[in-house]
Amino acid sequence: MTHQNWLDKYKPQKSSDFLGDKYNINQIDKFIKQFYVKNKKQLTIKNPNIIITGTNGIGKTTIVDLILKENDFEKIIPDLSKISITRKTKKKKIIEKDNGSVITIKTYYNSLLRRKNILMVGEQTTVKIAVVLDNVSNISNPKEKEAIKSLIKLNNKFKRIPIIIIANVKHSKIVNEIRKMVIFVEKNINEEGKKENMKKINEIVMKSPNINELETLIKKVCITEKLKLLPTKSDEEDLYIEIIEHSQYDVRRLINILEELKNIYDDVEITLDKLNLYKITAKKKDIDPGIYEATRSLLNDYSGIDSAISLYSEERATIPLMVHENYPLNLRQQYPKMNAIDQINIIFDVSKSISESDKVDGLIYSNQCWSLQSVHGFYSCVLTSYHINKVSGKMRNKEIYKYTQDYNKTSIMKINNKAIRNAQEHQLLKTVSIYDFLYIASILRILFNNKRYDMLCELLKPYNLTLKKIESIIKIDKIKNKKSPLTGKQKTIMKEKLGISE
């Protein structure tokens, strides 16, 4: 008799058996049901593409497979390496026919719509299909990324097939770009009774199963496999919690742990002491928490030096910047009863440690001293986490964290320096300081907003500046982020009044 793998044995056979957030499972099911053949009105589909995110091992792919199977949908996994987003010349089309290699995105999409099954009686029937793009967070090939975006864009237009994008919680540029493409508008009525349009991202974040569900699974496995966990009730409950915590709420890992315990101890009763011996040899899996979850852990829960350094190691460049970006707001929101002096003292301590980390970071990259990375992590993450959590009474409410603006600020600084150098080439602006340029930019923006074009002309005429240089000076002020500080109408008025070109 062959031994059956426990993962296969206890794999859920239907969506109702799946452990986890039942609400989100129903939402995925509703999304798929929109695409029944009976649903002729494609306009009723808000967005034909959906993102499903969650930690590794939570069962994202499993639940998608189960729901597709229950709804009689065929799962299609596209070979992105064979899809091209560029149009083909006649010569390339001839080559493509010969070797059947790369096809255009439109050709591939149309081929999906034409998929049919031949029945026993010789008739054809249209197949219900769903395109599944799994593990998108780890795709690195630029052409494959563009193929995904083109496929989603095309499906947004025609709304003919469900496209399911599966990703983990790790920060990913491609996933963020896809989020912008799966937005739909929902009409609501606000408190004043007025209609308003709300933009929503068609994303489902899968949550880990709760402790009660996992305890039920352990008991089921123990009965079926005759796995003996402690005879007394109180010890049994403690043992369950220890096993669940060691599995890190990962169902796959939990089943593997139970199978290993059975293989090691067989019919012998398993005590907490025996489990602790097992835990010494069975290391916990390394979890990539993602930059937002890592930021949340550092700002809301100081768990010691090793834990903070481990979080820092996930993204050595980005996580310290995320902490720096978000700690002032965290302090204000999570300590609502703290007086201003105490808040200032904590900000002083945190700023000091961040400042020290900046010095160490400079040493690392200027002298290639990579051995100092743990020191950088200590000052940027360990000390920061300690200082912001050392006062009791922290609320630890759910927060939305901003992605670090530091990378943008570095680029902005270079752009501003270039704009200032270009402006200073003018004879009358050679001695103007950076602060003066900021004041000038602010004054010009206010005058433009108030449509005081005569005063603008009076101020600018002696300098004989081109419209391009005027725009570059206004752009120095980044308080109001606008890609173009002047509208087309404003440019036309200024060109006429000043008698200048672009």
**CATH topology for the 290-404 domain:** Zinc Finger, Delta Prime; domain 3 (1.20.272)
Q: How far is the C-alpha of 68 from the C-alpha of 48, rounded, in Å?
A: 15
R_g of the chain, CA atoms, integer Å: 30
Count CB neighbours of 105 within 10 A. Answer: 21
Backbone angles phi, psi at 84, to 5 degrees: -110, 145
- pLDDT, residue 96, reads 47
Pairing of strands 183-189, 103-104: unpaired
Q: Which of 324, 327, 331 is nearest to 380 (CA)?
A: 324
Q: How far is the C-alpha of 48 from the C-alpha of 182, rounded, in Å?
A: 8
Q: How far is the C-alpha of 206 from the C-alpha of 169, rounded, in Å?
A: 10
pTM for the complete prediction? Answer: 0.64
- pLDDT, residue 125, reads 67
Question: Measured in whole angstroms, how far is the alpha carbon of residue 128 from the centre of its chain?
Answer: 30
Q: How many CA atoms lie within 13 A of 386 on its CB side?
A: 16
Count CB neighbours of 330 within 10 A. Answer: 23
Nearest-10 Cα torsion for 477, 480, 484, 488? -110
Instruction: Answer for the pair 11, 62: CB distance below 8 angstroms, yes or no.
Output: yes
- pLDDT, residue 1, reads 45
Q: How far is the C-alpha of 468 from the C-alpha of 58, rounded, in Å?
A: 53
Q: Which CATH superfamily is domain 21-205 in?
A: P-loop containing nucleotide triphosphate hydrolases (3.40.50.300)
Instruction: Answer for the pair 300, 334: CB distance below 8 angstroms, yes or no.
Output: yes
- pLDDT, residue 89, reads 52
Question: DSSP per residue over 247-304, as a string?
Answer: HTT-HHHHHHHHHHHHHHHTTSPBPHHHHHHHHHHSPPPPP--HHHHHHHHHHH----
- Both structure tokens of 203: 């994303």
Which residue shows structure tokens 């599995």? 247
Pairing of strands 49-53, 203-205: parallel
Kindly report the CATH class assigned to 211-281. mainly alpha
- pLDDT, residue 478, reads 64
Q: Which residues of the chain have pLDDT under 70?
A: 1-3, 37-43, 87-101, 116-125, 191, 231-237, 283-289, 406-415, 478-485, 502
Residue spans per domain, the chain: 21-205, 211-281, 290-404, 407-498
Q: Which residues of 145-165 are buried (b: 16+ CB within 10 A; e: fewer)?
A: bbbbbbbbebbbeebbbbbbb
Q: How far is the C-alpha of 4 from the C-alpha of 134, rounded, in Å?
A: 27
Sort residue 434 into left (φ over 0), alpha (ψ -120 to 50) or beta: alpha
pLDDT in tens, 410-429: 556 666 777 777 777 777 78
Instruction: Answer for the pair 399, 296: CB distance below 8 angstroms, yes or no.
Output: yes
- pLDDT, residue 116, reads 59
Count CB neighbours of 59 within 10 A. Answer: 22
Instruction: Answer for the pair 467, 429: CB distance below 8 angstroms, yes or no.
Output: no
- Both structure tokens of 267: 């019919």
Instruction: Answer for the pair 46, 202: CB distance below 8 angstroms, yes or no.
Output: yes
Which residues have CB under 8 Å from 469's CB, separation 6+?
A: 422, 423, 426
pLDDT in tens, 126-181: 778 999 999 998 898 999 999 999 999 999 999 989 999 999 887 788 998 999 99
